[in-house]
Structure 1
């Protein structure tokens, strides 16, 4: 690690868990789930971007420049084949249902105003099955749809519904990069993000219901990485105009220089210890 970027001190799990539980109970924290949460269950789908890139590489012969990079791999497949081919591969890769884990069920039972889930599996949706008043907004690709829309909304049964209905839901599940369920929306190729990244600073790709529900709240990042600029940009813009406090549990992963700068710049407190241990104690 570069000495010019001093490491962040890690908060002790036992010292911050009571405050986190209190903030969740008072609806003052927004859970922000990453791919690492899927790894806590039996890994039937990729549980990080490296594994997703490898899964694409097993199915398509990729040029050297794209190997190991999920966004470049997806872009090559879209460009050399067709968008429908990429979507079909992603639906195949994420076809196996990820069973909701203790964290998903714990969060579903809290009836929080907002839950952000940035991975493509459907475990959080499945955990909400018995919750009566909720719905979901997913980011969608604008490639070839001929519509001026950044996202679509789905009710608890999976039927598409006008986005304006999200304002009345007790709980909003926000999947900014899409998801396998209910219909298989995916943002992954570079082309998916070109327009998003040109307008995300002015918040157009962020749903109004998300902007409203993040106000006065902090974020709890679980199973997330911020080693890529795209991931940092999304997290920063989704957090925008929130109040804090913010926490992140990244497990035993060594942080990159950019991750340290990001966490420090956003005022996010990193918590020491493994993600599995944190989740186990949180839901106990």
Structure 2
């Protein structure tokens, strides 16, 4: 395993390996005022959207399903307000994995989480932010933002208005900054993934730039359809084998899925890769 981790670190340093970040990256993030954990996992998000109360088992299966139920009963704005209340709060602590990733000066990171932690650590450098959008009139399912090292500029879909050579931070499921946008409910994901498969959720310059790269899946379990579909499309055009998935206790379903995608399962945690000694609280 040590040789594999060394290979991954070398690939990250060379800019040939793209991190694909899931919920466990935020495992150590707490609110500075009351110590509560930031909602990140599917169950945590469902409870946060439903006033701390569990929903029916069929809705607890996956966050998009529960968010769709809330949207149908209380309106899409209810889901949007809840997510803004969670992730627009500036009281969350810094994730150790985020700090480590920011120090690597990586050219491209895909972050499925909706928090602003990594964006804040990128705020000292020029970069391109890509944010997923859904259920809008435009055929494109992304917005581009140019950060000049001080602030984000206005949203655009035009590549001529950004620096296509700058480091990329891709937030497909949304963020409150610089303006709130969310992929949350089943309807959002159906629209977004459909357009992702059709090529309308990734800018053309990135389609070219990503060819032949490898990917590193960290902090994500791969036993639900939504994340599996996202990952399958984001790593299109990857090198073969396509990279690694760090899963401490993978199940057979995850092993089979990774094998189909050319991902090597490594039974460890990203904190081992990063050399972080602190253990995230459960």
| 1:75-86 equivalent positions in 2, closer than 5 A | 75-86=68-79
**1:111 paired residue among 105, 109, 113:** 105
Report the equivalent of 1:149.
140
Size of the aligned set, in residue pairs, is 265
The answer on whether the counterparts of 2:28 and 2:96 sit within 8 Å (CA) in structure 1 is no
SS at match of 1:66: helix
> Which runs of 5 or more residues in structure 2 are unaligned?
31-35, 278-282
How many angstroms does 1:22 deviate by?
1.5
In structure 1, the residue matched to 2:5 is 17
CA contact (8 A) 2:134 2:192 kept: no
- TM-score if structure 1 supplies the norm length? 0.84
Q: Does 1:256 align with 2:251?
A: yes
Whole-angstrom CA distance in 1 between matches of 2:79 and 2:95: 28
SS in 2 for 1:58: coil
1:193 CA displacement: 1.8
**3-state DSSP of counterpart to 2:134:** coil
The alpha-carbon deviation at position 79 of structure 1 amounts to 1.6
1:44 correspondence with 2:40: no
Q: State the distance in 2 between where 1:176 and 1:203 align.
A: 14
Within the alignment, does 1:185 sit opposite 2:181 as a pair?
Answer: yes
Q: Which moved more, 1:38-47 or 1:95-104?
A: 95-104
In the aligned structure 2, how far is the partner of 1:109 from the partner of 1:275?
15
CA distance in 2, matches of 1:167, 1:211: 15
Query: Residues 109 and 63 (structure 1 numbering): CA distance in 2 closer, same or farther, change over 3 Å?
Result: closer
The answer to which of 45-54 and 34-43 deviates more is: 34-43
The offset of 1:64, in angstroms, is 6.0
| Shift, 1:203, TM fit | 2.3
Q: Residues 58-112 of structure 1: CA distance to partner in whole angstroms, max 9, x if unpaired? A: 2689566424531122112212222212100111232334444343233333332
Cα RMSD for the two superposed structures: 2.4
Segment drifting more, 87-96 vs 262-271: 87-96
Structure 1 spans left out of the alignment, 5+ residues: 1-11
2:270 to 260, 275, 280: 275
Task: Give deviations 1:175-232, integer Å, cap 9, x for gaps.
Answer: 1111232222110101102223334333222232332222121001111121111110
1:26-65 map, 5 Å: 26-42=14-30, 44-58=37-51, 65=58
Contact 2:250–2:267 (CA under 8 A) maintained in structure 1: no
Matched with 2:120 is: 126
- Contact 1:45–1:96 (Cα < 8 Å) also in 2: no
Cα distance in 1 for partners of 2:85, 2:145 equals 22
Change in Cα spacing, 1:96 to 1:149, as seen in structure 2 (3 Å) is same
Q: Secondary structure at the match of 1:168?
A: coil
User: Using CA pairs below 8 Å that are at least 6 residues apart, which structure has the higher relative contact order?
Assistant: 1
Match of 2:280 in 1: none
